[in-house]
Amino acid sequence: MTATATFAGGCFWCIETVFARLRGVESAVSGYTGGTLADPNYHEVCSGRTGHAEAVEIRFDPAVITYRQLLEVFFTIHDPTTLNRQGNDVGTQYRSAIYYHDESQLAEARAYINALEAEHGIRIVTELAPATTFYSAEAGHQDYYNANPGQPYCQIVIAPKVNKLMTHFAELTR
């Protein structure tokens, strides 16, 4: 039995790379969701005019990794306090968002956000929205980090997120 989770937290290359390394994650696909344009492409989404976010659709086995654990990883590897921005990536397409697939995911995400805000005295700007159509990104965007490990963006932006995963969640990785 598998479940689906969809997260947006800046560049999808980062999110996909991290989630693909977790035990129980059967697939992590980079793509676009949350907007109005059907079948968008990368350049259209990067324009900021489609309403879509760069996101990752994750298929996972809840008997191996829980939705709560996915939330913990998600909120550790990106900054949920900056609106429409992750580092140098700026625009609504880089927003922090959770696209929930059922009411239990919504309730769990809302409770997790409330706990983070109370514990750390911060304001979380992560959007909570129902999952809608997810459009897979072009082939060149899938598994980008593993295909381009020497690329400067991979070394400077993605590698630290992988290191953070290994530091904080080694027990969850493959």
8-state DSSP, 97? E
3-state helix, strand, coil in the chain (%, to 5): 40, 25, 35
What does the DSSP assignment read for 2-41? -EEEEEEES-HHHHHHHHTTBTTEEEEEEEEESSS-SS--
CB 50 within 8 A of CB 35: yes
Active site residue 154: no
Taking the alpha carbons of 148, 55, 37, 136 in that order, is the dihedral positive or negative?
A: positive
Q: Tell me which amino acid residue 5 is.
A: A
H-helix or E-strand spanning residue 117: helix 103-120
Instruction: Tell me which of 11, 14, 46, 154 is the catalytic residue.
Output: 11
Q: Which residues are part of the catalytic machinery?
A: 11
